[in-house]
């Protein structure tokens, strides 16, 4: 582990925090510099780990704390289950043409989607606009038989699903929560850009 904001917890010292499967490691460090610092893993393939979300931030406040601000996290809205945003991967429209970029696949390829809902309160009606789920493993139960050709699958708070899909024609597949105000108003959208040759026998946008 490389702990930002600390002296010693990084570089060669990162080996002190390496834990193999079934093991546990502990350490202690003193923070001496106020600021907001990133921590992340320091193992081989660390870019893969970090891109999979294995990082976080440490806020070190100065003595006496920071001055008050006008806006902070709205606990009342959370308690009333009325969030300002409903997001995929933590960013409004982050995976798609309005964000970083689309996920890309070719026609007739199979994509596997892993989708978890942390909540804390809302459940998701997970739906691929422009396609159907070829296979769905509810509750992430990959050792069970999958449901086949599913339009929309519910994913409860604290649960997950695994789904596969293909497309014989090029199009943007939009992964959404079918409570569609969450898509149009609150940011819950990710896009898979399917590229390849058109097949009018499957889909013809301009029939004669």
Rounded Cα distance between 94 and 166, Å, is 22
Check whether 54 is labelled as a binding-site residue. Answer: yes
- What contacts 15, CB < 8 A, 6 or more positions away? none
Write the CA distances from 98 to 19, 51, 92, 186, integer angstroms: 39, 20, 9, 14
Q: Is 127 marked as a binding-site residue? A: no
Instruction: Report whether 33 belongs to an annotated binding site.
Output: no
Tokens of 177: 């929560």
Contact 7, 29 (CB under 8 A): yes
Q: Look at residue 49 and give its three-state secondary structure.
A: helix
Count of CB atoms within 10 A of residue 15's CB? 10
Q: Is 147 annotated as a binding residue?
A: no
Residues annotated within the binding site are 40-41, 49, 54, 178
Residues annotated within the binding site for Cu cation are 40-41, 49, 54, 178
């Amino acid at each position: 582990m490389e702990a930002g904001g600390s002296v010693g917890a990084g570089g060669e010292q990162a080996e002190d925090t390496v834990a193999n499967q079934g093991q546990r490691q502990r350490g202690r460090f003193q923070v001496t510099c106020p600021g907001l610092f990133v921590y992340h893993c320091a193992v081989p393939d660390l870019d893969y780990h970090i891109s999979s979300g294995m990082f976080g931030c440490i806020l070190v406040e100065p003595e006496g704390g920071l001055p008050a601000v006008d806006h902070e996290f709205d606990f009342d809205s959370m308690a009333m289950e009325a969030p300002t945003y409903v997001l995929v991967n933590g960013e409004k429209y982050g995976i798609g043409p309005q964000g970083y970029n689309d996920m890309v696949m070719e026609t007739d390829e199979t994509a596997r989607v892993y989708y978890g809902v942390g909540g804390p309160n809302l459940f998701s009606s997970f739906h691929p606009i422009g396609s159907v789920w070829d296979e769905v493993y509810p509750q992430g139960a990959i050792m069970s038989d999958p449901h086949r050709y599913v339009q929309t699958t519910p994913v409860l708070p604290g649960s997950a699903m695994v789904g596969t899909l293909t497309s014989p024609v090029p199009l943007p597949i939009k992964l959404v929560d079918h409570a569609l105000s969450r898509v149009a108003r609150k940011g819950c959208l990710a896009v898979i850009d399917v590229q390849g040759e058109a097949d009018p026998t499957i889909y013809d946008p301009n029939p004669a």
